[in-house]
Amino acid sequence: MRKKKKKNPKLIFHFPQRMLLDYCASLNNTRALNDKRNFSFYQGDITNPSEVMDCLERHNIDTIFHFAAQSHVDLSFGNSYGFTHTNVYGTHVLLESAKKVGIKRFIHISTDEVYGEVEDEDDDLLETSILAPTNPYAASKAAAEMLVHSYQKSFKLPVIIVRSNNVYGPHQFPEKVIPKFTCLLNRGEPVVLHGDGSPTRRYLFAGDAADAFDTILHKGHIGQIYNVGSYDEISNLSLCSKLLAYLEIPHKTQEELHKWIKHTHDRPFNDRRYAVDGTKLRNLGWDQKTSFEKGVGITVQWYKAFGEEWWGDITKVLTPFPEVENKKVIAARDVVVDNIEGDMVVDKNDDMTLKQTNGTKA
């Protein structure tokens, strides 16, 4: 959020739980900003209208960047009500509060997952493409977008919607695949892939994502939607190989690969890939600057240094299917880990494919 002031705008950050940081949050992430004059931390709940209004009025906010969300897809299969409450109702509370105080810009951060699965042969999706979410998390974000759009049409609220690829980098909670696998390997433990590891994702370094949001803040047009697209598309299996390389773990032989890469059953539904066209944002002057190789290198080094201490004990988070109750990771579901039969083939760029045979072996 931004205070109404032309020079030295005041930034107000808050988290989506009342008087309680979410399970994946840490005050370490903002501690470096504590002595900044243009930074204030407001701890409140986006589903609490009185707290949201208090924050907006107390700090004289004129711009809202709405990042707050439940975002881990795996958790949405077992706790979908929580996703609806935070992502849909929480967005509704923010919109209604923004309308009351006369917000000048409401920038809503959505996700590329609202488009649903994109086939290999399909073109990258434009902002005008049909929304077809396939999991409860993505559906909650699509529903939130509908509310944002309705407030623009009904109440002329000045909104912008942003749909980004997967963002990664230092400080990301290790429920996400890159920090999770990095922390596991750094512990000397194997990673566990959902299914055969063939689904791909496009990854964008956090610094580039921040630049994209800044570009939209200063150059974005009210009422528009902007895709934030990365050039770097990689399969989950190849991601494992690259992380092994960065951590200097031997992984060229089948024995080495099967030691470090395991497989388990897949999600109830796992989109094969997402692909968005970011031309519209690039026309505003933004472009990706950080290659995947450079960004992952920075990220791996950070987790080697701080991953085990930043959030406290992260052991339960590093399981294939963590569960959350009352904002805490409490346990993992029992899961049988299998090695899918077949040879994992790694090329000179550490891209990996699985030449699978019939059946599985324990």
* Nearest of 162, 179, 122, 156 to residue 299 by alpha carbon: 179
Is 113 designated active site? Answer: yes
Catalytic: which of 51, 113, 145, 175? 113
Is 137 designated active site? Answer: yes
CA-based diameter of the chain, in Å?
65
Distance CA 81, CA 87 (A): 10
DSSP state of 156: -
Distance CA 4, CA 102 (A): 11
In the structure encoding, which two tokens stand for residue 47, read together?
């589903």
User: Cβ-count burial of 220 within 10 angstroms (0-12 exposed, 13-18 middle, 19+ buried)?
Assistant: buried
Catalytic: which of 74, 112, 145, 175? 112
Distance CA 84, CA 79 (A): 9
Catalytic: which of 23, 115, 137, 226? 137
- CA atoms 114, 119, 120, 125: torsion sign: negative
Strands (DSSP E) contained in the chain are: 2-3, 11-13, 39-41, 61-66, 105-111, 159-164, 166-168, 191-194, 200-205, 225-228, 233-235, 261-264, 322-325, 328-332, 339-346, 352-361
Q: Which long-range contacts (CB under 8 A, 24 or more apart) does 244-253 make?
A: 244/185, 244/350, 245/350, 246/296, 246/297, 246/300, 247/182, 247/185, 247/186, 247/300, 247/304, 249/185, 251/346, 252/346
DSSP state of 310: S
Q: What are phi and psi of 264, to 5 degrees?
A: -135, 180
Is 203 designated active site? Answer: no
Question: What are the catalytic residues?
Answer: 112-113, 137
